[in-house]
Chain A
Amino acid sequence: MNIQFKKGVLELCVLSVLSRRECYGYELVSEISQNIDISEGTIYPLLKRLKDEGYFTTYLQESSEGPPRKYYKISQTGIKYKNDLSEEWNEFTKMVTNIVTGVK
């Protein structure tokens, strides 16, 4: 897939996964990289930015295997932002589909 497409939708993907459940970084990265072919390292800067902007909160939780893990939890503003983004995304894909398939 085109790299610019991937970058644009990555934010929506991260927000969508987190709106369903709280995750630790590696879990989130694995889930996304399973579906989208992207360098896993690029997700961490995105997570930090969205956290700094107040869309997530983070907390440490003990793990049965190894050291505690940093979990990400979506905030109220995060949910609102995710809804706005997915609405935009739906409209955008509908428009593109119309043009690509030639529907008026």
Chain B
Amino acid sequence: MNRTGFMIRLDSHLEILSDSEKAEIFADINEHFDIATSQGKTEEEIIQALGAPEDIAAQYVPQKLETATAEIILQGNQQTSQTQYTQVNEGNDAKGGKIALAIILAFFSITTILPVMFSIAMAIISLIISGGSIVFVGFIEALSGTIENVIPGLISGLPFGNTANIFFGIATICFGFLWTVGWLYVCKKYWILVKKYFTFFINILKLK
């Protein structure tokens, strides 16, 4: 592992922290690398002495959780006893509000939004697949005259003459393709919507 790899691994374990806090941590560790390098140490030696990035990250993250919890408790006390100070503590209030919002959002996501999202996704996928069935029916319809010639009696009650059947068959195939393309388009739009929701949700969880 080199310096870049070390920083990437550190970053991947600091996801819960805000960008400004991550920037502070990276500045500290980068300064360490810079000075140690200027004193003639190799990247391997520096990384060896620093220890595993996961261990370092783990010591930053619980700190953050404790601070967040303390702020919720503080927040509760402020609201009951010192409402007149709300303006002064706007920063804290905003953060407390965000934590509350994150908890509510997480609850609704798991109980309501995620199952609904999943159902809609399944419905769209079924509709896309059903397009395949329509195309298949179209083929049978178009070829029904030929099938009737090869195996008489397999398809009963043909409503039209052979030419009309071929015409309707082709129309059905076209409709099947349009149907599939239409639902694929809906699926794409839906996917963008789902991604937007998750980005929003993750940002809320990061308390930004």
Which chain A residues have a beta carbon within 8 Å of chain B's beta carbons? 24-26, 29, 33, 39-42, 44-49, 52, 65-67, 69-70
Contact = CB atoms under 8 A, between A and B. Distances in A.
A67 B59 CA distance: 27
B19 interface: no
Contact of B63 (A24, A29, A33, A49): A49
A70 B50 contact: no
Given A29-B32, A48-B24, A52-B67, A66 B38 contact: yes
B55 interface: yes
Given A65-B38, A69-B31, 18 more contacts: A24-B35, A25-B28, A25-B32, A26-B31, A26-B35, A39-B49, A39-B51, A39-B52, A39-B55, A40-B32, A40-B49, A41-B29, A42-B55, A45-B59, A48-B60, A52-B63, A66-B35, A67-B31
A44 B63 contact: no
A41 B50 contact: yes
Say which size band chain B's interface belongs to: 20 to 34
Interface of B: 24-25, 27-29, 31-32, 34-36, 38, 49-53, 55-56, 59-60, 63, 67
A49 B53 CA distance: 18
A67 B56 CA distance: 24
A85 to B, nearest CB: 19
Nearest to B59: A45
B24 A33 contact: no
Contacts, number: 62
A8 B31 CA distance: 26
B107 to A, nearest CB: 30
A99 to B, nearest CB: 31
A52 B24 CA distance: 12
B59 A42 contact: yes
Contacts of B56: 39, 41-42, 44-45
A78 to B, nearest CB: 17
A67 B63 CA distance: 29
Which of B27, B28, B36, B53: most chain A Cβ within 10 A? Answer: B28
A26 B36 contact: yes
Contacts of A48: 24-25, 28, 60, 63
Contact of B49 (A33, A46, A65): A33
A66 B34 contact: yes
B95 to A, nearest CB: 14
Contacts of B27: 70
A33 B46 CA distance: 12
Contacts of B24: 48
